Amino acid sequence: MTAAAHAVDTQTRRAPARRALTSRRTFRRQPIRAWNALKRLLNDKEDTAAVFELMRALSGDSIPKGYRRLLKTPEGGAIAYERVEFAELLSDKAWLAGFGPGTVGAAYRAFIAPRGLSAEGLAEESRKGVDSEIDAAHPFAWYGRRMRDVHDVWHVLTGYGTDALGEACLVAFSYPQTKSLGFRVIAAAARGQMRKLKAPHAYAAAVKEGARNGKAAAWLPAVDYPALFAENLDSARARLGIARPVVYESIPEDARNPMGD
């Protein structure tokens, strides 16, 4: 696909739902839908589509509130005005290759490569569902895409892996950052399942630590992520107040998938 065709295709996907995203009905929570999605996720922790389904059902007004909070931050107005599509930057191999050793960008490269992760892959999962408005041409939809696209960056910043425990810790971290109820529900469900195992490891404590670290950190939705990628990873963590996940790190790597692969 040529660059021009890609631009047309992207704009076509983002064209609908300008009016719908300003309606209060759009931000109503849907508990039955959330429950069905949660059951799917508990049966298959790799069901990323179920995660997005659950998040849509329980996001409430967290997206418009987050966007308005962004506008009130020192750099938020410029970030919102420029409206960078971060997934497109993250998919630019030349851009990613430009970050030197020790930077957030280099750590992100090292994180996604062995796992076969990609920003576009995550974006495609988010588009599943008959009522997905993630590509709408609206500031709220852009903010939703922004929150989607920084997920793996938050993995890098927090030190949590993509194992079951790491994902549970990260969603626990994400709730105080976003106030999106879906994160809290997923974290609580994960803690409940891990407690039932009666394993010798502090799984529940690790998830609780994730929530505590998320509450103590700076508000990450307001970060200038393209600029952050050029920053030293340790310096960025210190500046943003992101604490080391001590409990999570105390659990052996081979024990961080307590519900099985």
pLDDT band at 231 (very low <50, low <70, confident <90, very high): very high
Q: State yes or no: pLDDT of 13 exceeds 80.
A: no
Q: Kindly state the tokens that stand for 134.
A: 């993630």
Buried b (16+ CB within 10 A) or exposed e, 147-156: bbbbbbbbbb
pLDDT-wise least confident of 11-15, 90-94, 107-111: 11-15
pLDDT confidence tier of residue 26, bands split at 50, 70 and 90: low
Determine contact, residues 251/206, Cβ cutoff 8 Å: yes
Given pLDDT bands bounded at 50, 70 and 90, which one contains residue 171?
Answer: very high
- Please say if the pLDDT value at position 123 is more than 90: no
Confidence of residue 226 (pLDDT cuts 50, 70, 90): very high
Average pLDDT score over residue span 238-244: 98
Task: Give the pLDDT score at 142.
Answer: 96
Side-chain half-sphere CA neighbours of 185 within 13 A: 23
Q: Which two tokens stand for residue 169?
A: 């810790």
DSSP 222: G
Q: Taking the CA of residue 166 as centre, how many other CA atoms within 13 Å lie in the half-sphere pointing to its CB?
A: 20
Q: Is the pLDDT of residue 221 over 80?
A: yes
| Res. 261: pLDDT tops 90 | no
Determine the residue type at 13. R
More confident residue, 83 or 43: 83
Residue 20 has pLDDT above 80, yes or no: no
Query: What is the percentage of the chain residues whose pLDDT exceeds 90?
Result: 66
Q: What per-residue confidence (pLDDT) applies to 202?
A: 94
Higher-confidence residue: 17 or 8? 17
Contacts 24+ apart (CB under 8 A), 196-203: 197/258, 197/259, 199/255, 199/258, 201/251, 201/252, 201/255, 201/258, 202/247, 202/250, 202/251, 203/165, 203/168, 203/251, 203/258
**Whole-angstrom distance, CA of residue 139 vs CA of residue 143:** 6
pLDDT band for 10, please (50, 70, 90 cuts): very low
Question: What would the two tokens of residue 75 be?
Answer: 């750099």
Label residue 253 exposed, middle or buried (CB < 10 Å: 0-12, 13-18, 19+): exposed
Mean pLDDT, residues 194-212: 91
Residue 21 confidence class, pLDDT cut points 50, 70, 90: low
Average pLDDT (206-233) is 98
Residue 174, judged by CB atoms within 10 A of its CB (0-12, 13-18, 19+), counts as buried
